[in-house]
């Protein structure tokens, strides 16, 4: 097939943009640890209350300014629903669902992931500003979906 010269230039340019965007994505994911939340760990979705650590949802300090939030999601609430951490804390959320698929998003941060029954998902976020963040469910989960929220208070 014969190609126009401009077409060649254009396609090379286009492919270069695609390759560069992929390289940046790959670099951020694998070299800088910014990859998307991709935890692979399963759980019996009908036995969440009886399975550690979800038998005791809550906020736990695990290191110097490092916290773990063990969280269950169910229509239409988060447990725990009021989380307080100090400024600069690196917080790892360990989450699963007791019923249907939910989503978790803290607007104004990069905390955004799906929480699927039968799967445990982990995501880490550092909170550098002391303010009250909203945590919402961003996947439709039933009639009360618009009420499903929690707060993360970051203290000085």
Burial category of 43 from C-beta neighbours within 10 Å (exposed 0-12, middle 13-18, buried 19 and up): middle
Q: Are the C-beta atoms of residues 52 and 72 closer than 8 Å to each other?
A: no
Tell which one of 42, 62, 81, 128 touches other proteins (CB under 8 A). 42
Task: Name residues contacting other proteins, limited to 70-89 (CB under 8 A).
Answer: 75-76
* Identity of the residue, 61 or 134, whose beta carbon is nearer to other proteins in the bound complex: 134
Mask for 117-146, x = binds other proteins (CB under 8 A): xxxxx----------xxx-xxxxxxxxxxx
Beta strands in 58-131 (DSSP E): 58-63, 66-74, 77-79, 82-86, 90-97, 102-105, 112-115, 121-126
36 binds, among Cu ion, other proteins, none (CB under 5 to 8 A by kind): other proteins
> Which of these, 85, 78, 82, 95, lies nearest to 61 by C-alpha position?
85
Residue holding tokens 């998307």?
A: 36
Mask for 92-121, x = binds other proteins (CB under 8 A): -------xxx-x-xxxx-x-xxxxxxxxxx
* Identity of the residue, 65 or 119, whose beta carbon is nearer to other proteins in the bound complex: 119
Q: Are the C-beta atoms of residues 135 and 78 closer than 8 Å to each other?
A: yes
CB of 65 to other proteins, least distance (A): 23
Q: Is 51 helix (H, G, I), strand (E, B) or coil?
A: coil
Binding-site ranges for Cu ion (CB under 5 A): 137, 141, 145, 148
Binding-site ranges for other proteins (CB under 8 A): 1-2, 4, 6-7, 10-11, 14-15, 17-18, 21-22, 24-26, 28-30, 34-46, 75-76, 99-101, 103, 105-108, 110, 112-121, 132-134, 136-147, 149, 151
């Amino acid at each position: 097939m014969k190609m126009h010269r401009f077409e060649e230039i254009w396609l090379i340019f286009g492919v270069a943009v695609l390759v560069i965007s992929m390289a940046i994505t790959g670099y951020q994911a694998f070299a800088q640890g910014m990859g998307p939340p991709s935890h692979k760990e399963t759980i019996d979705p009908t036995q969440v209350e009886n399975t550690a650590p979800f038998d005791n949802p809550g906020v736990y300090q695990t290191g110097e300014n490092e916290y773990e939030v063990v969280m269950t999601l169910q229509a239409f609430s988060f447990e725990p629903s009021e989380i307080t951490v100090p400024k600069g804390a690196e917080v790892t959320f360990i989450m699963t669902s007791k019923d249907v698929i939910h989503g978790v998003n803290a607007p104004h941060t990069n905390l955004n992931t799906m929480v699927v029954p039968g799967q445990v998902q982990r995501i880490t976020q550092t909170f550098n500003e002391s303010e009250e963040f909203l945590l919402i469910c961003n996947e439709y989960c039933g009639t009360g979906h618009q009420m499903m929220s929690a707060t993360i208070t970051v203290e000085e």
